[in-house]
Amino acid sequence: MMTAWAAASVLPAAEQLAGELAMQVADAPFEIVWKHYGDAVQVELRQRTSPHGDPKGPSVDVEEWGITFAGDSRVHWARLTLPGSTDRVASEWAEESSRGPHWLGFLADASDLLAGTLDPDMVPAIIAQIVVPRLSTWCAVYTSDTGAGPRRLAYLWHADEARIDGLREQLSELSVPDSAAATLQLADSQVLAVPLIARGRSLGAMCLGRHDRFPDESIQFAEDIARRAALAMDNARLYAQQAAANRALQRSLLPPNEPEVPGLDYGVVYEPAGEANEVGGDFYDLFKAGDESWRFAIGDVCGTGPEAAAVTGLARHTLRLLAREGYGVAAVLGRLNQAILEEGERARFLTLLHGDITPVESGLEVRMVSAGHPEALRLKPSGVVEGVTTPQSLLGVFPEVVFEADTIHLDHGDVLLAVTDGVTERRSGGRLLDDEGGLSKLLAECAGLSARAVAERIRRGAADFAPEPSADDLAILVLRAR
């Protein structure tokens, strides 16, 4: 890929060279490629079929030319020497910038590029791409995990890629200053080392190298870029740390393992819709409550983030504790409702479907309560779908509420589907997925599938219902009697 400054200096010669190369090929398709190698430009003609006759050398004064083969492609190439080196171009750019507002646009573009990523590993690469070749021939970015930790070479870039490996070896002997900008000497390069400091913490250093002296304007630009780069790097690190903490919190709110339940085939799908730094409000659980009894739950806390996560944690741990103490599903929801209300201003209302599973000879006996949750559906092997839960009050709103459990039987091959409103309220224009029984129709297409296949089919149906990404969390729980 050629930079604009290189193209301007050799454009007539390169165009003539490309024309001469093209005159030597047969009437088969070919491709002309220009490559920039720091102090030279290489013009290549690539063709899959080899032309007849011997290649002719160009009439243009070139550094070297030849023919190489890559797979089934033939490359006829010639290299032109640039009239000025990268260092000279950088000097000319700095001098021209000092006479006008161009450097303001350069810094603004640099700020936009640095602000465009929240990946800490990408920032060093962006820094190097910004300064080469405008300010220097090469750039090395050093980072440290902590301000006092050892520095490592995070990214290295040279205007001539062929020189990167040799430069890497030379840099192994370079001692980079910690606190202030300094000029050093490395082989035939003058090095400008600028620390990356943000919010009072040292995050590393940016080293620029060129063969001549750094003009004062280039030093000023480098220091300005270093300040912006350090802030971008610190923001990216903080974002990554917060995202990692929230992923760990999200994992802690989901079941630690998948139990084996006699006679039960089950499948789950869970997809939080928030950014990487946001905890979702949906959750599910499946756990053993007694010798011959298992419990399941799927819920949706109002909102997202730490407040929703606190209610999710309260709900999941309360369900497990009370279930193992022998409370029935209706009694468990009554006590959970009181616990949420006792949280006061920190409380969030919660929709929840909670039930117990008892294996019997003919299938599974299921007792469950739907507290403000989307209706659970049963699918028969024949493809018939029916609702099986009675709507009752959601949790965390009314103190005086009594819940009653519905009892259903799942014959062998029957499927019980429970979802959060991220499925039923998936929106496409003015329509919801569950309008006119949309979820029931989707489930009816799943007759004969395994529990996991049903869960995936519902997930895919919700994703395909609207072209844009979902703005709500999504949880799907499928129980199938074997």
The CATH classification of domain 254-481, taken from the options 3.40.50.300, 3.60.40.10, 3.40.1350.10, 3.40.720.10? 3.60.40.10
Per-residue pLDDT, 99: 46
Task: Please give the pLDDT value at position 330.
Answer: 95
The model's pLDDT over 366-400, given as tens digits with 9 standing for 90+, comes to 999 999 999 999 999 999 999 999 999 999 999 88
**According to the model, what pLDDT value does residue 91 have?**
56
E strands of 302-456, at which residues?
350-360, 363-371, 377-379, 385-387, 391-392, 406-411, 415-419, 427-428, 431-432
- HEC letters along 240-262: HHHHHHHHHHHHHCCCCCCCCCC
Q: Which stretches of the chain drop beneath a pLDDT of 70?
A: 1-9, 26-27, 37-39, 49-54, 69-72, 83-106, 146-149, 246, 249-250, 252-254, 274-280, 346-347
Residue 189: predicted pLDDT: 87
Determine phi and psi for 317, rounding to 5 degrees.
Answer: -70, -35
pLDDT at 23 (0 to 100): 83
Both structure tokens of 366 = 């299921």
Same fold, 87-248 and 254-481: no
Cβ neighbours of residue 336 closer than 8 Å, sequence gap 6 or more: 314, 315, 318, 319, 322, 352, 395
Residue 462 has what pLDDT?
93
Q: Is the model's pTM score more than 0.75?
A: no
What pLDDT is attached to residue 5? 44
Give residue 6's pLDDT.
46
As a whole number of angstroms, the distance between CA 220 and CA 206 comes to 14
Q: Where are the domains of the chain?
A: 4-81, 87-248, 254-481
What CATH superfamily classification does 87-248 receive?
GAF domain (3.30.450.40)
pLDDT for the residue numbered 53:
61
Exposure string for 341-366, b = 16+ CB within 10 A, e = fewer = eeeeeebbbbbbbbbbbebeeebbbb
Residue spans of alpha helices (H) in 119-186:
123-131, 164-171
Does residue 111 sit in helix, strand or coil? helix
Q: Quick one: tokens of 314?
A: 């309260």
How many C-alpha atoms does 255 have within 13 Å on its Cβ side? 18
CA 373, 374, 375 angle in degrees (round to 5)?
A: 110
